[in-house]
Structure formats: C-alpha cells, structure tokens
A and B are shown apart, each in its own frame.
Chain A
Amino acid sequence: MESWLLKGGRVVDPASRTDAVMDLLVVDGRIAERRPAQKAGGAPAGARVLDMRGRVVCPGFVDMHVHLRDPGQEHKEDIQSGTRAAAAGGFTSVACMPNSEPWNDGLSVTEYIVAEARRRGVVNVHPIGCVSKGGRGEELAEIGDMVRAGAVAVSDDGRCVATSALMRVALEYSKIFGIPVIDHCEDRSLHAQGVMNEGYASTLLGLRGIPAAAEEIAVERDLALAAMTGGRLHLAHLSTRGSLQKVRRAKAEGLAVTCEVTPHHLLLTEQAVVDSDYDPNTKVNPPLRTEEDRLALLEGLKDGTVDAIATDHAPHHEDEKLREFDDAPFGLIGLETAVPLLMDRLVATGEIDLTRLVTLLSVNPSRILGLGKGTLEVGAVADITVIDPGHESTVDPSTFQSKSRNTPFRGWKLRGWPVATMVGGRLAHELQVTARR
C-alpha cells in the first residue's frame, strides 16, 4: 500500500486537542507519524508527498445519516455512486438508513450492503438496521443478526418508531449490543398530509402544514422512554426550537441522549419554499422551519446540545422531483454540499470554529456509532478529510458524483471545499491537491 506524506497542513484533531501546522506520515493505511512541519524533505523512500500548505487536515468526516437507495432504488443512487458522492464531499464514512427495497431488516440485506460496499464502495459504509420487521412498526427486527453482520445502529428511518411500546422495547433490547436507537421524531397523526412547515409560509402558499409539535411530541416521548429504560437514544435531524430545548434539558439531567441537525435546517427556512415558487427541491421532512427555529439550531451547535451534523442525503431521480410540490417526494441530497456550506456559512462567518466543525462532523458521529474513528493520533486508521478554506466554487449539480440532483443549493457560491479524501490510506477523492502550486 502506498505511503503518504501530508506536508505542512493545519491539522485540526480535537480528539488530541491539536490545532497546529504539521506533517503527517501515513504508512500501511494508518497514521505512522506526526511532527511539526519541516521545510523540506523528511519523506521516507517511496512515500508520495502531498503539499498541504494552506489546507486543513482533519480526521475523516462521518455522515451518520444517508440514504444509499441500494438495494432496490438504484435509479436514485447506489452504493458506488453514493460513496463516490461521499468521498467528493469529504466524507470517509457513511451510515446508511434501512429504507431500501427491501428494507434492511435482517441478516441478508445487511450482508449485501456490507459486501457491495467492499466491492464497489470508495468510503466506509456502516448499515443501520431496522427497529421493526419491514419498518412496519409492529414486531422487533432481528437486531442481533444485523449487528453481527455490521449494523451500527437501528432505526425505522423516515417512520417514527410507531408506538411507545415498540420504542421502549427497542431501547431496552438494543442495550445488549450497545448500539443507539435512532428515531425520526414525528407524530404521524399531526403530520397528516403536510408538505411543509405549518406557519405563515404554508398559509401564504396554501400548502398543508406540518406543525413543530409533530416533532416535539415524539421527542418528548422518546426522552421519557430513554430515561425509563437507560437505552441509548439518538434523535435524527431535529428541526425545531422546542426539540432543542427538550434535548438541552434532558442532557442537563444526565440523560444519555444525542442528536443531529442537517445543513439545510441550519441554513434555510420555510421562506425558501416561498422564494423558489414551490420548488420541490425545498420539500424535505422534517420541513424547513422558521428563522427562530434555525437560530435555535445554531445556538444548539454552539452550546453542545447538538452532537452531530448529518446530511440526511436523500437522493431522488430528477423525474420524481419534477412534479407538483404536493406530489414530489420528500428529501434533498447533501453529501457534496455539506462541507462547503458549513465552511462558508458557519466557519467563515465565525459562528463556529474548525475544532467545533470537526467535532460535529467526525469526532461525535464516530463516537455515537462506535466506529473507533474521528482522530488523527498515531496508530489511527488513516481516514482523512482535507479542506481548502480558500477554494471558491459554485454549486453545480451537473458535476455531482451522486446520481441525483435534488439540491436547493444550486448556484450558491461557496468558499472552503474538500479537496482530498483519504480512506484507510487510500486516496478516494482528490481535487487539484497536487496540481496546485
């Protein structure tokens, strides 16, 4: 296996409390040496040198919430295209939700995903199994089998775990394996036929609304059950101020709960649906909320209430989104835009610093899923994300590695893009790194 010398980059490794300009030597797929940057030389024989001056070198980013659509919906995405999109976006690991066709609710689908990822994937793929058989919310799925085959968490994905009793059982049973139960918090009866946030914008546009309470009721339920069972609860893509308040309070009370937010909820509001004149690429579940909610999520990022940023990458074929707003499926892609969006809109603006960004994108998601990654300490697997904070580019979906194009960020001019992604010492993606300078 090729050896690498990453020279002169700014190494941001929160796990070892490091933020310094360093040289990083990668041998046999692991970090072999870390030392203060040297002017020249120092490369062992045969090592390829990558000039990292002016770049930020981070432990590989982990997107703990993606949809790879494989098996069964390969017209939207497959494991190869999805992992290529991940690599291009600076992610070295993804955890994929079980809503494939068939759902990943047992040994065979989990084994397929793991094997297919080994054959065609370019980043690490960690399957998330179903909580219930077929995701139907009735009987518990064979979680033990799935964990044995590589599942790192369970979730009924877009379906909020159907009943309180099932959620209780899931939180209890998953303790055997030490894995989190990930829930998409949503009271279905309140969600009804909603297609966007319920509020001023839905009234203005005459679209059916999804109230914030639909999410908050489920958050409250799950927190109560986590407290009762002592199980590990992870709340997916929280979107409202009320949800954040509940999680903040639960954490203060010592509950082992974690949560994630998405870049689109951090950067967009329901106004995007108005401004785009019903563009289905602003239709997502949970829906884009209000400015007040958005600011609350940002506050949660800063004060530690939010543990992770995940994209909820949800590819849909262009034809499926080229429809009436009511009829288009929910979901946006995010793998190839997350890092530049966060760099440009949160880091460059001083909302959060690089250490916090890396914590949210690498350290914490790795810890929540028990991946043993998220660090650049000597001996660690060489999963590395390199960002060029000065690189400016416009979001152009036609260049995406993903098979899908459903992004609301088309045309956004952003500064700070991932330029190299290394997975286990193998260069999975490279953009202008060696070419420049």
Chain B
Amino acid sequence: MLERESGSRETTGRTRRRQQGTSARRGAQPGRPDGAGPVVGGAAGAEDMASAPPLTALSQRHLLGIRGLAAEEITLILDTARAFAEVSLRAIKKVPTLRGKIVVNFFMEPSTRTRSSFEVAEKRLSADTLNFAPGSSSVSKGESLLDTARNLEAMAPDMIVLRHRASGAPHFLARHCRSSIINAGDGAHEHPTQALLDAYTIRERKGRLRGLRVAIIGDLANSRVLRSNLFLLKTMGADLVACAPPTLIPAELSRLGTQVTCRIDEAVDGADVIMMLRIQRERQAGGAFPSAREYYALFGLTPERVRRAHKDVIIMHPGPMNRGVEIDSAVADGPASVILEQVTNGVAVRMAVLYLLAGGKLGELAP
C-alpha cells in the first residue's frame, strides 16, 4: 500500500501526484494524543479512504506543539517536506518561496542542530533571517521575554522561531504577539519540528508509521522530544513503549497513550524503531540515578540489546548524544543508525513548516 514512499528519491512532480492519494484522511478518527478520544481505527482503513479531498494547507498560524494536530495535518507537513527534500539535492539549493519575509530565530537556550537547521531551511526558502540569543542581546540586561519579543516585532517579522527553557513560553508569546510563532523546543513540553523530522525519517525508511512498534528510551521526565513524539506517533497509529528508570518517568505517562516500562529488554523487544533520549548529567545530581556508569549498565543501548529488536530496526537520537551513557558508540555509528539522516531531514521538514505556516499550499510549491 505504501510502496510509493519506499525511500527512493523522486521528482517533485511525481511526489506531488502521490500526495493526492496519500493525504486523504479526513474520514479517519485520529487518535487523540491526550488519550481522550478513540485510537485510530482499522489498520488499512484510514489511508485508503480517499473520498474526501486531501488537505493542502494548514489553517493555523502558529506551530506551538503536536498536540492538537490532526493526522491529516501531520501528513500534509510530511508530504510537503518530501517535496522540499528535492530542493536540497539541487545544485542551487534555494527557492524564492519566502522571499521578502522576515523570520526571527529567537533562541533563548543553547542549540546547535535545531537553530542551524532552521537557519538553513529559511535560507533555502529565501527568507531574511535575524538571529537572537540571550548572550548577545538585551535579555542579559534583564529585559523580559515579552518586551524582547515586542521589540523584535517592531521590526515587523513574519515569524518567530522560539527556543526557550520554560514550558509554555511559545504559547505566552502567541497570546501577546502578532507574528506566527514556531516552537523550536519549550522546556520539557514539546519540540514539534523534531517529532516531525523523526516521523519523516521513519516514514522514509519504513514506508509508514501506522502499526510500527516504537520504543522511546531515556529521560522521559524532562524530554520535550518525548512528548511531541508521543503525540505525533499516537495520532498516526504507531504502537508505543516508553522506558526509563522510574525516577525519570513522569506521573501518569501511560495516559498519553504509551506503554510504560522500566525494563529496557522489554522495551526493545521486537521494536521497529528505537528512539533514544539524551540523559542530562545534571539529573544525576538530582538523584534520579546514582551514576552514569550504572545508568549505562541498566539502560544503555548496547549491540546486545539491539539484537532483541526487529531485524530491520532503525536507531534514532535527537542529539546531542552522550556516548557511553545512553547509547553505545557501536550502536550510534552502526548500520541501523539513522541519526545523521534525522539531521538532514530536519531541514526539509522545517522548510515545510515555515512554508505552510506562511500560508503556502502543497500543490503550489515553487519550482
């Protein structure tokens, strides 16, 4: 059913035709990520229901999180990303799509991957970009987040890409600012573009999301990557298991629609995808585990543990990795690892998000 997404490179034109067929999901009842609604129905049903016209544009101005996105919206973003992936293969890696638009990269927390990925995406779309970081800005003089944002807005940007240590900071700006807000990671809440690029990577490799067994292992309590991935993968019908020491499992996590375990062997057993989360060393000081050494012994992803997974398992990590803590180098650099592909795919996914939030339509991509 999904041979069309088997991972081979295709032309934009062909991709577009395929998207007409794949993104028709209005008939499906998407599983609600908060567990409030029914889980996605029969395995084959949703993707085959092509009666409703496919979604070609997003209705919202902001991307604050994955929670609240419907399956068809997620599919639209992933399909659009696929069309943009082609741009990265050209000799001249640039389209005029966002020419004349100003995008502010407002990163209040250190970031390498996400920030440079957004910046590349913006440049490929021909947007004008501004970069703000706390060290070099008036934030270090005690200016409030809202005042800084309002001053940035005075320069009439179209979008603000925000990374912030406080959960809900993008929602706060969305309430008080005029620009489109894109959440590039807020506290321990969400990191929606990471989950989208993860989903894109899985889909490219596996051809689907529905029905896959995905194990997410690591610091579940403090991870925004976890939450966005749970919301997304649940909505798309994947089968989830989350694993961590009980000291790093947030309260009532299973209500987000995942199995929860503190035994890694159980988590990786038969997994199609293993997604590792970074262990922040400062958690050790907080008493969540006694030492990095013991963490590795109990929860580190070793080649032996990977062997319990499905033979075609892919290994993912949002970075930055702690080799020898949550993941063994032999796994991180091994044949099943798609960790660098995730980074590559991040650009196309972020191009898609910027494009769609700016009001772009899937069928109208610039050549």
Contacts and interface: CB of A to CB of B under 8 A. Distances in A.
Contact of B227 (A199, A206, A322): A206
Nearest to A196: B167
A205 B289 CA distance: 24
Interface stretch (A117-125, A323-331, A425-433): A323-331
Contacts of A203: 250-253, 255-256
Contact of A202 (B67, B146, B169, B251): B251
Q: Which 10 A-B pairs have the closest CB atoms?
A: A278-B168, A206-B189, A324-B166, A206-B188, A203-B250, A326-B166, A206-B167, A200-B252, A277-B171, A325-B168
A102 B167 CA distance: 33
Interface string B285-305: 000000000000000000000
A214 interface: no
User: Which of A206, A277, A278, A324 lies at the interface centre, i.e. has the most chain B CB atoms within 10 A of its CB?
Assistant: A206
Interface string A186-230: 000000000000111011111111010000000000000000000
A207 B187 contact: yes
Nearest to A277: B171
B224 interface: yes
B92 to A, nearest CB: 40
Task: Say what secondary structure dominates the interface of chain A.
Answer: loop
A210 B187 CA distance: 17
A271 to B, nearest CB: 11
A204 B145 contact: no
Given A205-B167, A206-B227, 12 more contacts: A203-B253, A203-B256, A204-B67, A205-B189, A206-B167, A206-B190, A278-B167, A323-B172, A324-B145, A324-B164, A324-B172, A327-B166
A203 B187 CA distance: 12
A159 B343 CA distance: 47
A326 B187 contact: yes
Interface in B149-175: 164-169, 171-172, 175
A207 B251 contact: no
A327 B252 CA distance: 25
B111 interface: no
24 contacts: A199-B252, A200-B251, A200-B255, A203-B253, A205-B167, A205-B168, A206-B188, A206-B190, A206-B224, A207-B188, A207-B189, A211-B251, A278-B168, A322-B144, A323-B144, A324-B164, A324-B168, A324-B169, A325-B166, A325-B167, A325-B168, A325-B172, A326-B166, A327-B166
Contacts of B47: none
Name the residue in A200, A203, A319, A322 with the highest tally of chain B Cβ atoms < 10 Å from its Cβ.
A203
A345 B190 CA distance: 35
Nearest to B167: A206
A204 B34 contact: yes
B232 to A, nearest CB: 14
Interface in B135-153: 144-146
Contacts of A208: 188
Interface residues of A, number: 21
Nearest to A280: B172
Interface string B264-285: 0000000000000000000000
Contacts of A207: 167-168, 187-189
Interface in A321-375: 322-327
A18 B125 CA distance: 77
B198 interface: no
Contacts of A209: 250-251
Contacts of A206: 167, 186-190, 224, 227
B221 to A, nearest CB: 9
Contact of B171 (A278, A319, A326): A278
A202 B145 contact: no
A205 B224 CA distance: 10
A198 B253 CA distance: 11
B84 to A, nearest CB: 29
A324 B168 CA distance: 7
A203 B165 CA distance: 16
Most A CB within 10 A of own CB, among B164, B165, B168, B171:
B168
A153 B291 CA distance: 47
B142 to A, nearest CB: 12
Nearest to B171: A277
A204 B66 CA distance: 12
A200 B146 CA distance: 28
Contacts of A323: 144-146, 172
A379 to B, nearest CB: 54
Interface in A276-313: 277-278
Interface in B223-246: 224, 227
A207 B146 CA distance: 20
Contacts of B145: 323-324
B352 to A, nearest CB: 24
Nearest to B190: A206
Contacts of B253: 203
Contacts of A205: 167-168, 189
